[in-house]
Chains A and B, each alone.
Chain A
Amino acid sequence: MSVKIDPLLCNGCQGQDEANCVKLCPGDLLMIDQETGKPHIRNEADCWDCMVCVKGCPLEAIETVLPYQLASYKATLKPRVLDGKIIWHLRDARGNEETYELKTSS
């Protein structure tokens, strides 16, 4: 796996010229499915797992899921991007949770 996009949360960034994730992916891997109007990844193996699309999604609809050969099922790392900071929520495979707040601009 690489990124998982929740089809119920994602609205394809309606009203924008381009969905944020489609714009930001440094590998140009995300594209809009003409039928659903929502993004999907061209090729999961080509993902760098940089999490740029995850942080850029205004609806928090994207999650990075690392390839199974590198990371077991299942932990989550979710950023909440706010003005000047990011709050990261980490949940490990046993369900323990941690939160980290990081400054992004001054």
Chain B
Amino acid sequence: MRGGVFADMSEIKIEKLETDLLIIGGGTAGCLAAVRAKREAAELDVVIAEKAHIERSGCLAAGMNAINAYINPGETPESFVSYVRADAMGLLREDLVLSMAKRLNEVVQEVESWGLPIEKDERGNYLSRGRWNIKISGESLKPIIAGRAIDSGARVLNRVMITKLLLEEGRVTGAMGFGVRSGIFYLIKAKAVIVATGGAAGIYRPNNSGSSHHKMWYSPFNTGGGYAIGIRAGAEMTSFEMRFIALRTKDVIAPTGTLALGFGAKQVNSLGERFMATRYSHLGAEGAPTPLRVFGPTQEVKEGRGPIFLDTTHLKEEELRELKKSYLNMYPELILSWAANGFDPRERPIEIQGTEPYLVGGHTQSGYWISEKRETTLEGLYAAGDVAGGAPYKFVSGCWAEGVIAAENAVDYIRETGSTEESAESNDCLFTEMLRVYAPLHRDDGVSPPEMEERLQKVMDEYAGGVSRYYEMNEHELLLALNQIKHLQTQTRHLRAEDFHRLMNCHEVIDRIDIAEVLLNHLLYRKETRWPAYQSRVDYPYCNDRDWLKFVNSKRVNDRLEILERPYRQVVGGDRYVP
């Protein structure tokens, strides 16, 4: 060993594990999947491989103040599908959204029974906050579900980053990865695998730079590992071009649903106009689909009527206290920033802005192409949560529902197929992957992960519709970006790490570069503008149902990305553009 870095591959400890069900990612979807699998089949061994520590990992680290996908009294799973369909501009996998919607209330009530406080009225009914939303005191949401996953008997491998799926004769039979502190190489054999790692932040240059480059809304530690292992294994992916851009408070990038839905704040421009009502009334005004609620304010700024605010000056003192409590349950640093900057939302409106684009299948629909059983196109591999495609508007409870559905079907699959034969293939695979994983530790000279991340983010921001381009793009720019990203893929062999933490950072960049290639191919292929802001093709500025009411999918075949088209199917009747 030389300065904490391996000089020789023989110094690396290899740990081989066998399990029945491997869950990659112990977050929102993964924890619920583990609990359900153990309940359905107590005799099965379940392993969760988690990159951080399960107690506070992933998007829910700080907590949540609402459940935003719940079938409130008077609504049905079908009315939910109609709403989400209009919100997704008429194109989504209705079978997936419907099957998820049917499980939403069950999973919310289950987590409530584990100790999640849900706010109720005097008659004991949940307090709603909008049509599909209920209020919770969810600061401890993550430890509550993580604790339950551990109590269920699932084994947890904390601080393990999965880098490759094990494939034997076309079937997924486990995964490989490394300990981000220990450096141990893991080979985990499993009869079935559920991928539930979350989406990808850090592909585009963020709103904030330098000392605040991680002051973003989506977890900066969700770096798309689940997408990347699927892309490299040849799984079919869908709708990467439907990026997610969130409307957030300026600077600290806190969620705004709390202000709009919880406290009736309206968007206004610098002239005091309620521009969503005046310019977008035909599309639903302030209730317009989510992409338009980002597109609208972005246009205001582009056309010189910025900045944009959410008007909170109507709030009474007691309401302001309630507002602060809501944020303390989910995003406490916003309250700290107001206190530091002498900001009072009753005196001045709250400035808002769009974030950099993320890939998040729980809000939009980029991810694995899956069946209603949440099977991916690779046998033995299931997907749930932000990494699963086709079903937007999942948020926390929808990810729970998908985790449960994936677990039930993975358990059935394990019972039907039984174990796999040990093949020589997995040993060859192991050494190839070890060489790839640890290579950055052997380099004395080269590129650091932050340097390569900056390059990736600059290219994507400037040529593929980032914040600095008002999310707009055209074919020439996208082709240029693709060229640069392909070049960057050849540069990853110069990445250099001084320790295992930096080695994790290296693979987080490699994964995001692979994701960027897929994203660019999807953005190039869809020749319309289906989701303004999320996917603004200025060379094809209109929505075109005649040619493009279909899914853009892709998969890697022999190191080349192939694009496939898949048809849209309407399951719930009614006008696709009316919620």
Contacts and interface: CB of A to CB of B under 8 A. Distances in A.
A16 interface: no
Nearest to A27: B221
B212 A102 contact: no
B211 A25 contact: no
Contacts of A26: 52-53, 56-58, 61, 219, 221
A70 B321 CA distance: 22
A6 B192 CA distance: 46
Contacts of B181: 28
B159 to A, nearest CB: 7
Interface string B211-226: 1111110011100000
Interface residues of A, number: 47
Contacts of B337: 66, 70-71
A21 to B, nearest CB: 10
Nearest to A74: B340
A9 to B, nearest CB: 20
A48 B140 contact: no
Q: Which 3 A-B pairs have the closest CB atoms?
A: A75-B339, A92-B339, A71-B340
A23 B61 contact: no
A42 B181 CA distance: 13
Interface residues of B, number: 49
A79 B501 CA distance: 29
B528 interface: no
B208 interface: yes
Contacts of B219: 26, 48
Interface stretch (B256-264, B327-335, B429-437): B327-335
Interface string B39-57: 0000000000000110111
Interface of A: 1, 23-28, 31, 42, 44-52, 56, 64, 66-77, 79, 86, 88, 90-94, 98, 100, 102-106
A40 to B, nearest CB: 13
A86 B332 CA distance: 12
B134 to A, nearest CB: 14
Contacts of B116: 105-106
B278 interface: no
B214 A69 contact: no
B342 A71 contact: no
Contacts of B324: 90, 98, 100
Given A46-B220, A51-B62, A72-B341, 13 more contacts: A25-B52, A47-B214, A48-B215, A48-B219, A49-B215, A49-B333, A56-B56, A66-B337, A70-B252, A71-B340, A92-B342, A102-B137, A106-B116
A90 to B, nearest CB: 5
B504 A28 contact: yes
- Residue of A69, A74, A98, A102 contacting most chain B CB atoms (<10 Å): A102
B124 interface: no
A24 B50 CA distance: 12
Contacts of B56: 24-26, 50, 52, 56
B144 interface: yes
20 contacts: A24-B55, A26-B53, A27-B214, A46-B214, A48-B221, A51-B62, A52-B56, A66-B333, A66-B340, A67-B208, A67-B210, A67-B211, A70-B212, A72-B341, A77-B332, A88-B332, A90-B339, A92-B338, A98-B324, A105-B144
A103 to B, nearest CB: 4
